């Protein structure tokens, strides 16, 4: 579905145009065309390929989708794949944006994502001095918008992890805590898969041999790279924290089980003393003088109580009870 199709010259928007007019404006010097599609059909992709003379391999990747984040050069054309990570309640949904960038055009195609880029277009149109850089600046603006959307997702994951950590030390539902931690780890991995490959790819857009479309924009792409470095460092730290939290939770379970074992052992000892004494006097041997003693029963019961009291005090002092 066509979202927007406009032509720009010298950093200013000339007009919204029909798809059939794209080729005419591509031939005009100093102009570039910016087309945005959503969930493009095969017919729309074929038309865009004809209008912009796109490389067949990049079009094939955009058609099939499910590509890893990357930046590839095909002559003067740059093909970029970005992952859009959105929060739907407690779930994460991964969409994809394919961006074709040439000297006089930008074609963005978003799939499986609800968040659009109308705000990016408005931002670029408010900055004509920067938009004079042409299609390369549009590529930066799209990339910067996608990367900036990762930060709220990261903050939400960190908040979720903090809540789980509080539950761990409250000794509540250890099994549920482990399941929640693995769920958080899965989210961290999802975000990592979106940022790590992109960081390596963006590093090619500043310093050294820079693609012609991106020349003069090195500091902007370096800023995106810095954001990605910060994201990846935070994700690595978060992943280590999740691993540590899982180990702590397992340790808390082990400690809890040992506490239960100690309590059971202590209570077993308290029960064993009366059982032993009662067992001795329950043998009913003929030559047991205490059996005929008038104070035999009170003496046996008192002995049981005294020994259990001493044991109870010792166990309580040792923290077993």
Q: What is the CATH number of domain 1-124?
A: 3.30.460.20
Phi, psi of 147 (to 5 degrees): -65, -40
Domain boundaries, the chain: 1-124, 260-318
Predicted pLDDT at 228: 96
Which string of DSSP letters, residue by residue, matches 201-268? HHGGGSSSS--GGGTT-HHHHHHHHHHHHHHHHHHHHHHHHHHHHHHHHHHHHHHHHHHHHHHHHHHH
Cα 218 to chain centroid, rounded:
29
Phi, psi of 132 (to 5 degrees): -60, -25
Per-residue pLDDT of the chain (321 residues; tens, 9 = 90+): 888 999 999 999 999 999 889 988 998 888 999 999 999 999 999 999 999 999 999 999 999 888 999 999 998 999 999 999 999 888 999 999 999 999 999 999 999 888 889 999 999 999 999 999 999 999 999 999 999 999 999 999 999 999 998 888 887 778 888 899 999 999 999 999 999 999 988 988 887 788 889 988 999 999 999 999 999 999 999 999 999 998 888 888 887 778 778 888 888 888 888 888 787 777 766 777 777 777 777 878 888 888 888 888 887 887 777
| Total-model pTM | 0.81
Predicted pLDDT at 49: 93
Predicted pLDDT at 84: 95
Torsion of CA 54, 57, 62, 64, to 10 degrees: 150
Q: Tell me the sheet residues that pair with 154.
A: none
Predicted pLDDT at 132: 92
Write the CB contacts of 184 (distance below 8 Å, at least 6 apart in sequence). Answer: 157, 160, 161, 164, 242
Q: Is residue 139 a contact partner of residue 224, using CB atoms and an 8 Å limit?
A: no
Distance, in Å, from the CA atom of 200 to the CA atom of 39, rounded to the nearest integer, reads: 27
Write the CB contacts of 193 (distance below 8 Å, at least 6 apart in sequence). Answer: 68, 83
């Amino acid at each position: 579905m066509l979202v927007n199709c406009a032509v720009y010259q010298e950093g200013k928007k000339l007009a919204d145009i029909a798809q059939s007019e794209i080729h005419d404006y591509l031939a005009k010097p100093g102009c570039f065309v910016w087309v945005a599609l959503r969930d493009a059909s095969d017919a729309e992709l074929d038309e865009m390929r004809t209008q912009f003379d796109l490389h067949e391999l990049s079009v094939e990747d955009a058609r099939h989708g499910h590509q890893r984040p990357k930046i590839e050069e095909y002559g003067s054309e740059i093909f970029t794949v970005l992952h859009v990570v959105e929060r739907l309640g407690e779930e994460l949904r991964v969409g994809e944006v394919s961006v074709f960038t040439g000297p006089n055009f930008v074609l963005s195609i978003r799939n499986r994502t609800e968040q659009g880029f109308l705000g990016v277009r408005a931002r670029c149109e408010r900055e004509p001095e920067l938009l004079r850089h042409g299609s390369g600046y549009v590529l930066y603006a799209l990339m910067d918008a996608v990367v900036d959307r990762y930060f709220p997702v990261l903050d939400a994951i960190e908040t979720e992890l903090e809540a789980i950590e509080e539950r761990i030390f409250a000794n509540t539902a250890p099994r549920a805590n482990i399941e929640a931690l693995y769920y958080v780890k899965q989210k961290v991995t999802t975000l990592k898969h979106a940022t790590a490959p992109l960081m390596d790819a963006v590093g090619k857009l500043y310093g050294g041999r820079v693609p012609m479309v991106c020349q003069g924009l090195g500091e902007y792409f370096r800023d995106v790279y810095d954001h990605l470095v910060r994201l990846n460092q935070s994700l690595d730290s978060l992943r280590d924290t999740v691993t540590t939290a899982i180990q702590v939770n397992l340790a808390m379970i082990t400690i809890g089980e040992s506490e239960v074992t100690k309590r059971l052992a202590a209570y077993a000892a308290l029960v064993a003393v009366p059982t032993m004494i009662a067992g001795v006097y329950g043998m009913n041997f003929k030559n047991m003088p205490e059996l005929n003693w008038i104070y035999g029963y009170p003496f046996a019961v008192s002995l049981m109580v005294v020994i259990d009291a001493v044991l109870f005090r010792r166990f309580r002092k040792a923290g077993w009870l």
